[in-house]
Amino acid sequence: MKAGDGQGDEPADVYRYYELWRKIANLVGGGPYDEPDLQDGRVYFRSDYSEKVRKWPEWAEQGYWGAWIIEPKHEGYFCVVRSLLHEREVDRSETIQVIFSRFLDAGKYIVMRVGDSIRTSRDIRLKSLFVNWEERGLDARIRMEPASRDVVDFLKRESPTLKDGFAEEYLKKYTLDDDLGCYGFALPDEEPRMGVLAVSLEELTAELLDGMPESITSQVALWRK
């Protein structure tokens, strides 16, 4: 199964908007972020990787690079995975952050995470979109309900270190009322970010750019080309 199979133009749309935020992040020193990389069906959005691995091939296995990953599953889900190797740790950790029914929404989630890291950076110091959405509350177009047993079991299989009973109690399904095929699953600390279900990539980008300095906003049209 390849990432984006059956998803139409969704991967291309995600990559185009991610490219914009990759350029912004690299400008403000939040990177270096690499171009998306498809490996074994997973799409990697890495930072601090390609330049160093060219100089030190062992960096691919032993380096402290980070990555957001979109991983398609045979169950039809697109998991957003966070991959990190912490200092003084031997093994790289991979943790499922959220689960979506569409590649597009998984991509919007990653764009939001990258954009928010820029907004809250030392040089920008804006309120994150996460906080804005948390204060506003979940979009009225999004319905929240407990996740079904099969999804709970799926998350427990994929996240064996999850505390026993935690997924059963806290995992929720978020569905866009206007499109019942547009949904995702998340634990409570990710609830504000599930607002990506109700916005387009363009709307998300506009919100992330709100309040950004002119040194960034003046370059957006050029970077979009």
**Residue-level pLDDT at 2:** 35
75: left (phi over 0), alpha (psi -120 to 50) or beta: alpha
Question: Within 10 A of 54 (CB to CB), how many other CB atoms are there?
Answer: 9
**Residue-level pLDDT at 57:** 94
Q: Could you give the CA distance from residue 84 to residue 91 in angstroms, rounded to a whole number?
A: 9
**Residue-level pLDDT at 5:** 43
Which one-letter DSSP state was computed for residue 169? H
Provide the angle, in degrees to the nearest 10, between the axes of the packed helices 10-27 and 201-209. Answer: 10
Q: Could you give the CA distance from residue 47 to residue 22 in angstroms, rounded to a whole number?
A: 9
The residue type at 89: E
Residue 31: Cβ-neighbour burial (10 angstroms; 0-12, 13-18, 19+): buried
Q: Which residues of the chain carry a pLDDT beneath 50?
A: 1-6
**Residue-level pLDDT at 4:** 40
**Residue-level pLDDT at 88:** 74
**Residue-level pLDDT at 8:** 62
